[in-house]
């Protein structure tokens, strides 16, 4: 029964996102709300394509988990269901411009997905790869949403905080890349950093060049031998 609810909540989440953009919910699309505050980490429009890729990959992950339940903990499916509801709640809060609530919900969402990633056996690579993309995409999205919230409240932090957030995002991706021997997580970070570069090259060049620099460093990690896990 849990497997059925996993697929149903996933489909409900996808349907809600489509309807929220198509209506759009509260009269504004998610992208229009993002652009309203002129934040320093706002990516170019193509950056959001990654969420279509992640959603498709998650379906593959669910099929893999459903067929190999022995490779996940008993709490995995309930947590995945919770993550689907968190995605819906986040979308509602975002479309209604409740940015601070969106930050809190996104933080809870990231923790939930991080637990999903940890509680799946390394042998189930088909399921781990989409979750890694998911985890990476949410991590960078948290920094973007936090930056948008600070822009909304007119926090006078200049370019210092956006660059600091980019550094933290890079260090997190670099650590997971090598400590977990994870190829997928940095891919989301690289894609979003590239989209930040193109989105901010004109209004915030310092932030843009910082993003492209760290994206390049992450790309380089794919050309070096991974350390052995003992």
Contacts of 22 (CB under 8 A, 6+ apart): none
Angle at 111 (CA atoms; ends 110, 112), nearest 5 degrees: 90
CA dihedral 201, 87, 177, 165 (to 10 degrees): 40
Q: What is the DSSP string of 116-181?
A: HHHTB-TT-HHHHHHHHHHHHHHHHHHHHHHHHHHHHTT---TTHHHHHHHHHHHHHHHHHHHHS-
134 near 50, Cβ under 8 Å? no
Residue 230: its pLDDT value, please? Answer: 39
Q: What's the farthest any 2 CA atoms get from each other in the chain?
A: 54
User: How many CB atoms sit inside 10 A of residue 177's CB?
Assistant: 23
Q: Which residues of the chain have a pLDDT value below 50? A: 227-230
Q: For the chain, how big is the Rg over CA atoms in Å?
A: 18
Query: What pLDDT score was predicted for residue 126?
Result: 84
Tokens of 118: 């940890």
Instruction: Provide the token pair at 211.
Output: 């993003």
pLDDT attached to residue 125: 82
Q: Please tell me whether residue 72 adopts helix, strand or coil conformation.
A: strand
Instruction: Identify which of 112, 114, 106 has the alpha carbon closest to the alpha carbon of residue 135.
Output: 114
CB-based contact 132:185 (threshold 8 Å): yes
> In the prediction, which pLDDT does 229 show?
42
């Amino acid at each position: 029964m849990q497997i059925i609810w996993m697929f149903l909540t996933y489909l409900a989440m996808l349907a809600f996102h489509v309807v929220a953009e198509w209506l759009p919910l509260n009269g504004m699309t998610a992208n229009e709300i993002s652009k309203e505050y002129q934040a320093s980490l706002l990516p170019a429009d193509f950056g959001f394509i990654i969420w279509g890729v992640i959603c498709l990959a998650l379906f593959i992950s669910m099929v893999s988990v459903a067929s190999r339940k022995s490779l996940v903990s008993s709490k995995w499916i309930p947590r995945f269901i919770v993550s689907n509801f968190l995605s819906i709640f986040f979308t509602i809060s975002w479309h209604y411009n409740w940015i601070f609530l969106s930050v809190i919900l996104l933080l809870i969402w990231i923790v939930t997905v991080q637990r999903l990633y940890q509680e799946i056996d390394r042998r189930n690579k088909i399921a781990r790869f989409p979750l890694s993309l998911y985890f990476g995409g949410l991590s960078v999205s948290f920094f973007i949403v936090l930056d948008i919230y600070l822009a909304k409240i007119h926090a006078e932090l200049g370019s210092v905080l956006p660059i600091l957030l980019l550094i933290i995002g890079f260090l997190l991706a670099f650590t997971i890349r090598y400590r977990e021997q994870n190829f997928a997580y940095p891919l989301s970070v690289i894609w979003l950093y590239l989209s930040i570069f193109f989105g901010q090259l004109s209004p915030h060049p310092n932030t843009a060049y910082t993003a492209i620099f760290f994206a390049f460093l992450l790309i380089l990690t794919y050309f070096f031998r991974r350390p052995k896990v003992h």
